[in-house]
Structures are given as C-alpha cells and as structure tokens.
Amino acid sequence: MYKKEYERWLTSKLDDPDLAPELESIRDDEEAIKDRFAVSLKFGTAGLRGVLGAGTNRMNVYVVRQATQGLANWVKTQGGSQCVAISYDSRIKSDLFARSAAQVLAANGIQVRIYKALMPVPALSFATRYYHCNAGIMVTASHNPAKYNGYKAYGPDGCQMTDEAAGVVYAEIQKTDVLSGAKLMSFEEGMTAGLIRYVEDDCIEALYDAIKSRQVRPGLCAQAGLKLVYSPLNGSGLVPVTRILSDIGITDVTIVPEQKEPDGNFPTCPYPNPEIFEALRLGLELAEKNGADLMLATDPDADRVGIAVRCKDGSYQLLSGNEVGVLLLDYICAGRIEKGTMPKDPVMCKSIVSTPLADEVAAHYGVECRNVLTGFKWIGDQIAKLEEKGEEERFIFGFEESYGYLAGSYVRDKDAIVGSMLICEMAAYYRSIGSSIKEELERIYREYGRYLNQVDSFEFPGLSGMDKMAAIMARLRAESPKEIAGCPVIKVTDYQKPEETGLPAANVLIFTLEGGATVVVRPSGTEPKVKAYYTTKGKDLAEAQARKDALAQAMKPLLD
C-alpha cells in the first residue's frame, strides 16, 4: 500500500516545489519510502507534529490541508461564530502552513482571523477567545529540532483541543484524501470575500494590557535598574516580550544578536529548548560579559521561558522549571498578600509531575493547590471550572516543570510573555531589597527542605518506537517493582484508573517510596520518549542528588 501511495505522490503535480525532488531522491530507497508513507501522522489533542518533508508521515502543505479540512468539518457542526484564529512561529514553512490552513477554512465558508506576522502560543489562545472563535490553529513544533514542524489545535476556550473533539477531527481527516480532499481558495480571494481577515491591533493591545494587569508590584521595575540579557532563540518571542518589558520600565535589555531574528534553522542551537544548556550558552556568555542580573530565553513559540541568575561570585546558575515555578508562586503569594490584592479562596494549579514543594508553599500562604494531568490544557480546564462559577479571579498561578507558567485567566495555555515579565519583576524586587532570586531560592529550601526534581528521558525513534514504549508501560503495570534502590514502594498510582485518581485516564504511573521520594513514569505526548521524573529530598543538595542517582540507576533497566 505504501508503495502505491508513494507512486501517487511521485506522479502528482505538487504545488510545493521542495517535495518533488525529495520524492525522486528516494525512488530506490525502500526504507525511506516506507518511513514516509507506511503510516500517517496522527492527529491528537496536541494536534500534529513531525519531520518536514514529503509523505503522509511528514509535515507538509498537503498534510496541513487535510488536517484543516478535518477541522473545518468539525467546526461546521459547532454553530457559534464559525470562525478560526491562526498564528504561527518562525519554523520552516510555518507561514506557508498558516496561510494554507486559512485557504482551506475560507473555502469551507469559515471566517479566519490570522496574525499578519509570527506571534506566539499565548497570542493564539488570546485571539481565539477575543474573537469568540470555534477553534484556533498554532503552527509550531515548540522546542523540537529545526527539521520538525507541527500544528496545534485549540478549542473555543483557548485550551488545546479536548480528546473528544480531537477524535472527531481525526475521524474527519481519515475520510479526506491527503492530496485532493481538501477544499481550497486562494488567500487573496479569501481576503477579498472578507472570509480571511488579519488580527487587528485592538486584539494585540488587549493581550498586552491583560499581561500587564498581572503585575504584582506595578511601577517597581522602572526604578529598579535591572540589567537583563534576553534571547528569543530565533523564535516568536522578540516583539511581544521586549514590548512588555519596555512597557513596565525595563530598558537595559541586551538581545543575544545571533538569536534575535526569526530563523527556523536555529543556526546556533540545533535543539531550541530553554531547558537545555546549549540553547542558553550564547546568552550566558553575553550575561557574563555584561554583568547582567538575569538572563532569560523563550522557546520558538514563546510559551516557555528558561532563566539563569547571577550568583554572588559573578557566576550564573540555570534554574529548573520547578524552581522558577516555586519562586514565582512564593513571590506572587507574598506580594499579593502584602498589596491586599490576593483574592478570596485563591487557587494555584500544577501538573502531577511537578514538584511537591509547590504544594507546601501554597499551603503556607493559604492557597489551594490543584494537581492535574500533564499538559497545560488541564490547568486551563481548572480555570474554566472557576470561570463557570464566575470565580476565575481566584486563579493566581499555574505551572508545569517543563518551564511553562501562567498568571491570570486571559489565556488558557502557558505564556512566556507573562512569565518573562513576572520573572523580571521578581528579580527587580529582590534586587531592590538587597536580596536576589538565588538567595530567595536558598531561603525557600531552608524553610521547606532541599527538594530535588530531575527528569531522565529514554528515546525510542522509528516506526517501532511506539510499540516499545507501550511494552515498557505494560510491563511496569504487570510487574510493578516492590522496591527501587532498596527503598520499599509503598504505593503505586495508576492514572489509567480514573476511579482511583479522580482525574481523567492518562498513561502515567507514580511510585511513592518509603520516606517520601517519588518516581513518575509516562510516555511523552509530543516526542518518542519515555520520561522518568524523580523527586527526592535531603538535608542538602548532595544527599538529595545521591538519592536520585540511586533511584535512576535502579530504574534504568526497566526503562531501556
């Protein structure tokens, strides 16, 4: 079957000139043909994500059109505005895919609101809500290497699409021929007909106003003299992040020159992920040269932000997503209580794989901590539940350990713009009282104990990867370890049993050990990886690290 499909693509007149030469080049390569055509990219709650190229198992304009036709079929059953918002980042062909999606939607009689230039995930979530759209599309592969692109689909609430809606869209996609099944109208024709319109300045300004409203201490940054190095990692964060920082009075901002302009090849960091040292290396070198107080970097679709803080000896320390999440939670709670802006019965949310230190900090300030499944849409779902009761202002903060943060209910996905603003405000405040982010983190560890949270990933590429990952999870369920590194397992929580967890079913296992350490195992939702999350606690970092290393050594044979 896959050979026939390959031949069909090879003999079709394709309107992306990059695809035909690639198809020709693999004519005699059986494995390459099989890899591109034996399966199709699957559409799920995270949309599509794959390597750019020709074939049903690649990201290309035909797969995007097919997915958008499936989405259009679903939208047409939804009533409402019959409108879809579209944004895109700096990745290769992101602008082409965004315009292609607009063409398919317009041809189906669906209104489109598309950004004139690249804008990040939070801007897409905001526009979807602002224009009361049925859905939103964000063309991005987040922090994947340059050879990837993707297509995130959002529901009318600005959250990534629900399982139920994604299932309907996927069924419609499967009914749509990938080469010829999508309706199509030229972009210009769609504009002339009034079906395709650009997102207007009032929407963009409303987003910026919503972000600035989340300041804890308005006006502080203008007097603080904070010195900052920032890298958008050649992505979509440059314009919105610098605009917000300028608006709140942070003017001493040096942009990493090699990573300033949008560039989907990501020439200085093959893996543009702010969790990884290599992506931040140029920024750190510049921070050391400039003596900056803080260095921060946003990923290509600017929904996540990583930071490095200056220590007393002039060196810089990278902070984990868990550490920044806890620091922001502590800063927001203390600041809002001090300023009298803390709502009644405040709520914060975090994913089940994020640090339990946040539960302790929240309890200290009288804040309810809700633990949800991995994926920011579940934090968005909690905001929606509050919104239904007219209580969305109770939500003060949410975070995931993978560097995603949100303060406020104006969007329903993680937002590196508000994250960057609050991190800078926090740094400016601590600087103004003679402290620092580093010193405040040490204070938190002294108060609550030295927590350590680390993640190990095991990659399973290729067509057999998913089967191997499924086998690992099945084996861990069937033969759960009774002890790990000599430490008894006192509880196994299987999130495929919603009757036990109270949460929707998810492919996650948590092993709770005597003494409080935990090991969480789950397959990634976006990459061919099984991830193991370790939480340990010790009297100091060395003790916590030794405990983590022993657990990881014991788990390795079970996850390889």
Q: 478-487: per-residue pLDDT in tens?
A: 999 999 999 9
Q: Is the pLDDT of residue 240 over 90?
A: yes
The span from the CA of 428 to the CA of 293, in Å, is: 9
The span from the CA of 530 to the CA of 559, in Å, is: 8
CATH top class, domain 2-206: alpha beta
Q: Give the list of residues 6+ apart from residue 43 with CB closer than 8 angstroms, or none.
A: 67, 70, 153, 166, 169, 170, 173
The answer to whether the 226-318 and 452-559 domains have the same CATH topology is no
Rounded to 5 degrees, φ, ψ at 240 are -70, -40
| DSSP structure string for 97-115 | HHHHHHHHHHHTT-EEEE-
- For the record, the structure tokens of 364 come out as 């200290």
Q: Taking the complete model, does pTM exceed 0.75, yes or no?
A: yes
Looking at domain 226-318, its CATH architecture is 3-Layer(aba) Sandwich (3.40)
The span from the CA of 547 to the CA of 455, in Å, is: 14
CATH number belonging to the domain at 320-414, selected among 3.50.50.60, 3.40.120.10, 3.40.47.10, 3.40.640.10: 3.40.120.10
| DSSP structure string for 414-453 | --HHHHHHHHHHHHHHHHHTT--HHHHHHHHHHHH-EEEE
Fold of 452-559: TATA-Binding Protein (3.30.310)
Asked if 237 contacts 443 with a C-beta cutoff of 8 angstroms, the reply is no
In this prediction, residue 495 carries a pLDDT of 94
Percent of the chain with pLDDT over 70: 100
- For the record, the structure tokens of 304 come out as 């996540």
- For the record, the structure tokens of 199 come out as 């997102």
β-pair type (518-523, 228-231): unpaired
Tens digit of pLDDT for each residue in 33-73? Answer: 999 999 999 998 789 999 999 999 999 999 999 999 999 99
List strands edge to edge, sheet with 395-400: 368-372, 347-351, 395-400, 404-406
| Residue bearing tokens 């690249």 | 118
In this prediction, residue 560 carries a pLDDT of 81
345: left (phi over 0), alpha (psi -120 to 50) or beta: left
What is the band of 427 on the pLDDT scale with cuts at 50, 70, 90?
very high
The residues spanned by each domain of the chain are: 2-206, 226-318, 320-414, 452-559
SS (H, E, C) 495-518: CCCHHHHCCCCCCCEEEEECCCCE
In this prediction, residue 516 carries a pLDDT of 87
Catalogue the active-site residues. Answer: 142
